[in-house]
Chains A and B, each alone.
Chain A
Amino acid sequence: MKKASIIMIIGSLLLLGLFKFPLWNIMLGAPQYPDPLGMNIYIDGIKGVSEFDLQNIDGLNHYIGMKTIPKADEMWEFSMFPKVIFGMALLGIIIGILGFLDKVSYKYFLGWFILMSVLGILGMYDFNNWLVDYGGNLDPHAIIKVTNPDGSPMSYKPPLIGFKKLLNFDVTSLPHTGGYLMFVGMSLTLVAFWLGRKISVKKTT
């Protein structure tokens, strides 16, 4: 159980990587952009991959009537997410320490994982909603209007995850370092649960 608890603590600590590394990354490449434009999504705001990428993405997007990329203070998420992540990391560490001291059972590890997964799914859902709004809620006075074959206005929603072609841009959306650290951390808490269960089963038999 001690080993499992240490893994639980390490797993929770990995969440803190999100305060340094971006959670997600979206790259926009096109033949006329040999150096692709890109944005890194952090839990507390969006930054360009290169210094002027956001300004240049906004410059391009204004032709099709997209809103500018939100600043940190324009979305409640960017003030809420850091609190949630910090809270969950702290909770995980406390559960781990309590497990180490045999004050709580390994089942709390799973409980933490389920809670984190639910929050994560909610976060993804929220992120997707934002992408839908960002890519589809266009200025009716937009200079360039492109319609789908059925006549409906084209949406420029980037993919939630993976690759999509938007006009002549290749858009790739993938987790970034902070995101991977979080996934690894969450997996470790699952490992901690499994290890804790194994030891506990061994003890009882």
Chain B
Amino acid sequence: MKNIITSSIAILVILIGFTSCNKGNNSGGKSGALASNVAERVYVAPGEYDSHYAFLSGGYSGNVTVYGLPSGRMFKEIPVFSQFPTSGYGYSEETKPMLNTSHGFIPWGDAHHPDISQSKGELDGRWLFINENNTPRIARLSLTTFETEEIIEVPNSAGNHSSSFVTENTEYVVAGTRFSVPIPQRDMPIKDYKGNFQGALSFISVAPETGNMDIKFQILMPGFNYDLSHPGRGKSHGWFFFTTYNTEEASTLLEVNASQNDKDFIAAINWKKIEDYVNNGGGTMMPANYAHNVYDEETHTATSTMKKEVRVVNPIDVPGAVYFIPTPKSPHGCDVDPSGEYIVGNGKLSANLTVHSFTKMLDAIEKEKFAGEAYGIPILNFEDVLAGVVEQPGLGPLHTEFDGKGYAYTTFFISSEVVKWKIGTWEVIDRKPTYYSVGHLTIPGGNSGKPQGKYMFAMNKITKDRYLPTGPEMEHSAQLYDISGDKMELLLDFPTHGEPHYAAAMEASIIKEQSQKIYKLADNKHPYAAKSDADTKVVREGKEVHIYLTTIRSHFSPDNIEGIKVGDKVYFHVTNLEQDFDVPHGFAVIGQNNSELLVMPGQTKTSVWEPKQVGVWPFYCTDFCSALHQEMQGYIRVSAANSDTPIKWSLGEDIE
């Protein structure tokens, strides 16, 4: 017996010896045994919370997805620019106006760059802004309800790409056009592009209390492509920087013709100067036609208003407000460091990374050291503004974010890596492969004066996937890195939804605390709300029938409805009487030509149903709501168009 014990101990000792060796090998002895337990560092146990929220754009999905970090778990998809059958967004009568534009109802959008509102240069977690690229629009989402509250269309713009970034007190959210177009739009030969097209950079004011957006002014710039942008901050607060490409002003085969110039520009805009000019009556009102859609949380209803004019500013009318900084070569990303001193212009065809100095820029402007002008806008000398160059860091630099500790992180699309470099010395500190072709990267608080530099995640463009294969089409991927140490460490691959262009992220605390759980029924001001079973009714108005319906676990009231005729337009106004977190009720009726509804506690939503056949048709709750969810159903009787069946409704009448 004793022998067995002794030999067991001996075996144990040997095993421990082996495992220790393996551990040492795995971590490469770089950062100690603790650093190697990567799984533990992304594991968020059941019932525990992630430390950060991440809001990823869905690209061609038109929506925003909400993720937790470090787990990489997706919590929610928030519909913004695209119809969303899950909840009825863009299908329900209340939300259809959100997708209204000057081109009519548009059920899809291309969502690119989310940005969180700021106060004094720090993320305040009130709103999330995001741009729509295809039909230029900017949306504002509430980070209390996690719903889209407002969408404003941007006239004179096309390919709303250098958007939607906010200034350090959320004074403005910008919408810069990627494509220059004739302004105003007109019928003209495309080959006459040069000198005739213009690019509109729109400054959209954000009301401090409500968040309501309004286009304060548009700067009509030369006909380049305005690719990306970032606000100045700290010392450069009051300025905005936009990268350009196609300063050649070519209109065909741009991959060659827009890559001829050795340098394109970063447009530096002193928006405070233009704001003053506009506040003193500067600029001209120009006829326009664009939609402004606002969702009212009390009526649970959106309204769409068409605006008829917009204020435009010619940059040469405001001397000292706009300058061009030459930047090699077709720069894409345009990123400003937390201090506001450095402006990184990543020439995507350049082997080096170019960093400009804000102080040097002001100095050159003061001394009027100009290399020339373009369309009346002064061009600064490249050398006068240059702060430094990161030499040969990789191929195809795209985007840069900062950790707030003096380091910058740049993605390289062609060489597929993230490179960490030091601000000021411009030396490369670390590089890590991304395994995918990487696009944007995000550090929580990235577009603010106070980055929260613990995590960084890279969002990938071309995914020869590292997951189980799912056929030719797959979701894109993101990769999470720990950047708290000297070296970046890959922690996690996680799939994303749509094509995530960019993301905004922040520590969870503020958002988590303010998150709303229900809508108060008492505050429901929907004109067709039924706030109790006593308010339920069915009202015929000519060929329209309005059904005031309520839901509560586990029945509809009324659940028997008669007197509907073929050819009627039937509005189901469904009010959810629950006042309990996470007890939505669904609504669907057979043969519906749009979508179901998902109605949150205290909310009213309306679905239109146009019955085409005589019969008795069921409707039911689509969201499993209680032990008696399957019983939550009703019938609607549809009679012939010429019948005289009276309108009638009931609940529980045949119960003894």
How many A-B pairs fall under 8 Å by CB?
20
Give the residues in chain B near A35, CB-CB below 8 Å.
581
A144 touches B627 (CB 8 A): yes
Contact with B along A56-88 (1 / 0, CB 8 A): 100100010000000000000000000000000
Give the residues in chain B near A201, CB-CB below 8 Å.
none
Task: Indicate whether B276 reaches chain A with its CB closer than 8 angstroms.
Answer: no
Question: Smallest distance from the beta carbon of A156 to chain B beta carbons, Å?
Answer: 16
A52 touches B579 (CB 8 A): yes
Question: Smallest distance from the beta carbon of A66 to chain B beta carbons, Å?
Answer: 15
A83 to B48, CA, bound (A): 48
A173 to B517, CA, bound (A): 27
A59 touches B627 (CB 8 A): no
Task: Indicate whether B553 reaches chain A with its CB closer than 8 angstroms.
Answer: yes
Task: Indicate whether A129 reaches chain B with its CB closer than 8 angstroms.
Answer: no
A76 to B47, CA, bound (A): 43
Which residues in chain A, 96-151, are within 8 Å of chain B measured between CB atoms? 143-144
The contact of B518 among A52, A59, A63, A143, by CB within 8 Å, is A52
Question: Smallest distance from the beta carbon of B628 to chain A beta carbons, Å?
Answer: 7
Give the residues in chain A near B627, CB-CB below 8 Å.
63, 143-144
Main secondary structure of the interface of B (DSSP, over half): loop
Task: Indicate whether B488 reaches chain A with its CB closer than 8 angstroms.
Answer: no
A164 to B533, CA, bound (A): 35
A52 to B576, CA, bound (A): 14
Task: Indicate whether A200 reaches chain B with its CB closer than 8 angstroms.
Answer: no
Among residues of B, the one whose C-beta sits closest to the C-beta of A144 is B627
A101 to B580, CA, bound (A): 57
Give the residues in chain B near A144, CB-CB below 8 Å.
627
A52 touches B580 (CB 8 A): yes
B580 touches A56 (CB 8 A): yes
Among residues of A, the one whose C-beta sits closest to the C-beta of B581 is A35
A143 to B579, CA, bound (A): 22
A52 to B521, CA, bound (A): 11
Question: Smallest distance from the beta carbon of A68 to chain B beta carbons, Å?
Answer: 14
A55 touches B579 (CB 8 A): yes
Contact with A along B627-641 (1 / 0, CB 8 A): 110000000000000
A59 touches B580 (CB 8 A): yes
Given the interface pairs A52-B579, A52-B580, the reply to whether A59 lies near B552 with Cβ below 8 Å is: yes
Among residues of A, the one whose C-beta sits closest to the C-beta of B602 is A52
Question: Smallest distance from the beta carbon of A29 to chain B beta carbons, Å?
Answer: 13
A59 touches B553 (CB 8 A): yes
Question: Smallest distance from the beta carbon of B346 to chain A beta carbons, Å?
Answer: 45
A56 touches B579 (CB 8 A): yes
Which residues in chain A, 19-60, are within 8 Å of chain B measured between CB atoms? 34-35, 51-52, 55-56, 59
Which residues in chain B, 549-595, are within 8 Å of chain A measured between CB atoms? 552-553, 578-581
Give the residues in chain B near A51, CB-CB below 8 Å.
579
A143 touches B628 (CB 8 A): yes
> For A55, A59, A63, A143, which residue has the most chain B Cβ atoms within 10 angstroms?
A59
Which residues in chain B, 579-629, are within 8 Å of chain A measured between CB atoms? 579-581, 626-628
Give the residues in chain A near B628, CB-CB below 8 Å.
63, 143
> For B518, B579, B628, which residue has the most chain A Cβ atoms within 10 angstroms?
B579
Which residues in chain B, 500-544, are within 8 Å of chain A measured between CB atoms? 518
Question: Smallest distance from the beta carbon of A160 to chain B beta carbons, Å?
Answer: 28
A144 to B578, CA, bound (A): 21
Question: Smallest distance from the beta carbon of B44 to chain A beta carbons, Å?
Answer: 15
A142 to B553, CA, bound (A): 14
A56 to B518, CA, bound (A): 13
Give the residues in chain A near B552, CB-CB below 8 Å.
59
Give the residues in chain B near A143, CB-CB below 8 Å.
627-628
Among residues of B, the one whose C-beta sits closest to the C-beta of A37 is B580
Give the residues in chain A near B518, CB-CB below 8 Å.
52
A155 to B144, CA, bound (A): 41
Known: A52-B518, A52-B579, A144-B627. 14 other contacts (CB 8 A): A34-B47, A35-B581, A51-B579, A52-B580, A56-B579, A56-B580, A59-B552, A59-B553, A59-B578, A59-B580, A63-B626, A63-B628, A143-B627, A143-B628
Residue ranges of B at the interface with A (Cβ–Cβ < 8 Å): 47, 518, 552-553, 578-581, 626-628
| 20 CB-based A-B contacts, threshold 8 Å | A34-B47, A35-B581, A51-B579, A52-B518, A52-B579, A52-B580, A55-B579, A55-B580, A56-B579, A56-B580, A59-B552, A59-B553, A59-B578, A59-B580, A63-B626, A63-B627, A63-B628, A143-B627, A143-B628, A144-B627
